[in-house]
């Protein structure tokens, strides 16, 4: 099979599963198909929507929306607490499918990944053929719908995969990156959040093309290195590489909120989900992590990381979560002390310093094993929010108590 002769140079795919959690629910429950499915909890509960099927989105339901608001918008919706075990299993199956086409797979979260197929695409007919085949296999083997962007860099591949959801395929041929981005609104560009966009629009800029044509020196003077970076991206330039997460190095998950948030309960709720995913992957690989890291991306495009090395390596969900939560609270407290609290756009948890075959003491090992088995059983029977809601309620109680003390 010959490769696509029109493609030369790097070939990057961004693969994104559409409405992932809700799609898994619809796949596993045929009676849900074609109906509005809302994952995160029951309509009357506190908490936020984790995912909404496209049928639910038609009613205005969106991720990170309060469940009670979603219930008001879509009272006929099917509200489910979620099942992180099944979602992680589905994610593992999808990532394994990607690895059949290239070893260079960089998971970004449970439902999306970058693939560098530069060196392998010729074996499968070229990068566009690889994208079409992955979409077909995801649907036929796994019952899930995949949107894919194909480009010469990560930026354009990611923008492309977002453009025609669900079930989209957008190809940005080499040499057309700037022209592809030019007509799109500023908010589509990495690093242009609400505050940056407001400044740019105040200068009369509306599209990425407008930004690309704007004086670079003025951008750098106003935004510093960030201004230089967005000027490069607006021209379709992105030298970022696909960095696979090797089992011997680190494992992690990230989540990007639909809207920037200052709600610590919402962020901690997502931290729990991410920690559960990381813990499951560690246990599946029979490794433990010595270091837990928290990643935060805040407006306009500032990425911050904090990490902590543990006394005892772990693959326990709750240990990972409590460590990440402690790091989050320290970061938010430091921001408040400086008087510069910024909304959070992305949160991530990463486990590194992985070790194989390390054993706990006999008593501790048995206790940890029983605890994880019990937690998994609770999640299977009662759903993700069985633990998630308890965490959220504790946060709400702390807020109430803090308010009364003040």
Distance CA 213, CA 235 (A): 9
**Span of 182-186, 217-221, 256-260, 261-265 with lowest mean pLDDT:** 256-260
Asked whether residue 200 carries a pLDDT value surpassing 90, the answer given is yes
Q: In the predicted model, what is the mean pLDDT of residues 61-76?
A: 93
pLDDT of 151 reads 97
Residue spans of beta strands (DSSP E) within 204-286: 250-261
User: For residues 118 and 203, is the Cβ–Cβ distance under 8 A?
Assistant: no
CA-nearest of 402, 401, 378 to 390 is 378
Asked whether residue 237 carries a pLDDT value surpassing 50, the answer given is yes
Asked whether residue 360 carries a pLDDT value surpassing 60, the answer given is no
Per the DSSP assignment, residues forming a β-bridge with 113 are 15, 107
pLDDT of 305 reads 85
pTM reported for the whole predicted model: 0.63
Q: Residue 145 has which token pair? A: 């719908």
Q: Residue 395 has which token pair? A: 């946060």
User: What is the CATH topology of the domain spanning 11-172?
Assistant: Alpha-Beta Plaits (3.30.70)
Q: In the predicted model, what is the mean pLDDT of residues 292-299?
A: 86
Tell me which of 118 and 109 has the higher pLDDT: 118
Confidence of residue 304 (pLDDT cuts 50, 70, 90): confident
% of residues, the chain, pLDDT over 90: 53
pLDDT of 353 reads 81
User: What is the CATH topology of the domain spanning 178-234?
Assistant: DNA polymerase; domain 1 (1.10.150)
pLDDT of 392 reads 39
Distance CA 325, CA 48 (A): 18
Active site residue 112: yes
Asked whether residue 396 carries a pLDDT value surpassing 70, the answer given is no
Distance CA 104, CA 341 (A): 37
Tell me which of 370 and 166 has the higher pLDDT: 166
Domain ranges of the chain: 11-172, 178-234, 250-405
Active-site annotation holder among 25, 45, 55, 112: 112
pLDDT of 5 reads 54
* Ordered DSSP codes for 307-352: EEEEEEEE--HHHHHHHHHHHHHHHHHHHHHHT----EEEEEEEEE
Please report the sign of the dihedral spanned by the C-alpha atoms of residue 312, residue 316, residue 322, residue 326.
Answer: positive
Mean pLDDT of the chain: 84
Q: Tens digit of pLDDT for each residue in 17-43?
A: 999 999 999 999 999 999 999 998 888
pLDDT of 14 reads 97
Q: In the predicted model, what is the mean pLDDT of residues 187-196?
A: 89
CATH match for 250-405 among 3.40.50.720, 3.30.1490.100, 3.10.310.40, 3.10.105.10? 3.30.1490.100
Please return the burial class of 99, using the count of CB atoms within 10 Å of its CB with bins 0-12, 13-18 and 19+.
middle
Distance CA 259, CA 274 (A): 18
Q: In the predicted model, what is the mean pLDDT of residues 86-97?
A: 90
User: For residues 388 and 266, is the Cβ–Cβ distance under 8 A?
Assistant: no
pLDDT of 383 reads 54
pLDDT of 379 reads 54
Asked whether residue 404 carries a pLDDT value surpassing 50, the answer given is no
Asked whether residue 182 carries a pLDDT value surpassing 60, the answer given is yes
Q: Tens digit of pLDDT for each residue in 138-159?
A: 999 999 999 999 999 999 999 9
Asked whether residue 355 carries a pLDDT value surpassing 70, the answer given is yes
pLDDT of 245 reads 61
Task: Specify the residue for token string 């339901």.
Answer: 61
Q: In the predicted model, what is the mean pLDDT of residues 231-237?
A: 95
Asked whether residue 246 carries a pLDDT value surpassing 90, the answer given is no
Helix and strand totals (H; E) in the chain: 15, 12
User: For residues 78 and 34, is the Cβ–Cβ distance under 8 A?
Assistant: no
Q: In the predicted model, what is the mean pLDDT of residues 315-336?
A: 90
Tell me which of 10 and 386 has the higher pLDDT: 10
User: For residues 25 and 39, is the Cβ–Cβ distance under 8 A?
Assistant: yes
Confidence of residue 352 (pLDDT cuts 50, 70, 90): confident
pLDDT of 336 reads 78
Per the DSSP assignment, residues forming a β-bridge with 70 are none
CA-nearest of 268, 265, 376, 377 to 322 is 268
pLDDT of 362 reads 41
């Amino acid at each position: 099979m010959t490769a696509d002769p029109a493609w030369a140079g790097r070939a990057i795919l961004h693969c994104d599963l559409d409405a992932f959690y809700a799609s898994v629910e619809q796949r596993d429950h045929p009676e849900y198909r074609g109906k509005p499915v809302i994952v995160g909890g029951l309509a009357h509960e506190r908490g936020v929507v984790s995912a909404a099927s496209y049928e639910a989105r038609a009613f205005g339901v969106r991720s990170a929306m309060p469940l009670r608001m979603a219930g008001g918008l879509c009272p006929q919706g099917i509200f489910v607490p979620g099942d992180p075990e099944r979602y992680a299993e589905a994610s593992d199956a999808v990532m394994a499918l990607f690895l059949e086409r290239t070893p260079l797979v960089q998971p970004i979260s449970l439902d999306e990944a970058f693939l560098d197929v530069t060196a392998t695409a010729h074996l499968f007919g070229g990068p566009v053929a690889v994208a079409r085949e992955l979409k077909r296999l995801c649907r036929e083997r796994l019952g899930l719908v995949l949107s894919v962007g194909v480009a010469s860099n990560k930026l354009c591949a990611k923008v492309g995969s977002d453009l025609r959801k669900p079930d989209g395929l957008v190809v940005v041929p080499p040499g057309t990156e700037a022209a592809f981005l030019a007509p799109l609104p500023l908010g589509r560009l990495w690093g242009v959040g609400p505050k940056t966009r407001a400044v740019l629009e105040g200068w009369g800029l509306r599209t990425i093309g407008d930004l690309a044509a704007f004086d670079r020196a003025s951008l750098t003077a106003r935004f510093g290195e960030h201004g230089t970076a967005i000027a490069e991206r607006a021209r379709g330039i992105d030298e970022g590489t696909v960095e696979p997460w090797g089992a011997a190095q680190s494992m992690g998950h990230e989540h990007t909120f639909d809207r920037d948030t200052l709600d610590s309960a919402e962020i901690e709720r997502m931290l729990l989900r991410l920690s559960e995913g990381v813990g499951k992957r560690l246990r599946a690989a029979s490794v433990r992590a010595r270091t837990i890291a928290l990643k935060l991306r805040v407006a306009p495009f500032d990425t911050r990381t904090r990490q902590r090395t543990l006394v005892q390596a772990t693959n326990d969900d709750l240990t990972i979560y409590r460590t990440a939560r402690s790091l989050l609270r320290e970061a938010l407290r430091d921001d408040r002390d400086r008087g510069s609290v910024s909304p959070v756009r992305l949160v991530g948890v990463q486990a590194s310093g992985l070790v194989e075959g390390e054993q706990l003491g006999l008593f501790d090992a048995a206790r940890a094993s029983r605890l994880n088995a019990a937690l998994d059983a609770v999640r299977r029977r009662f759903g993700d929010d069985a633990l998630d809601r308890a965490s959220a309620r504790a946060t709400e109680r702390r807020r109430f108590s803090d308010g009364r003390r003040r």
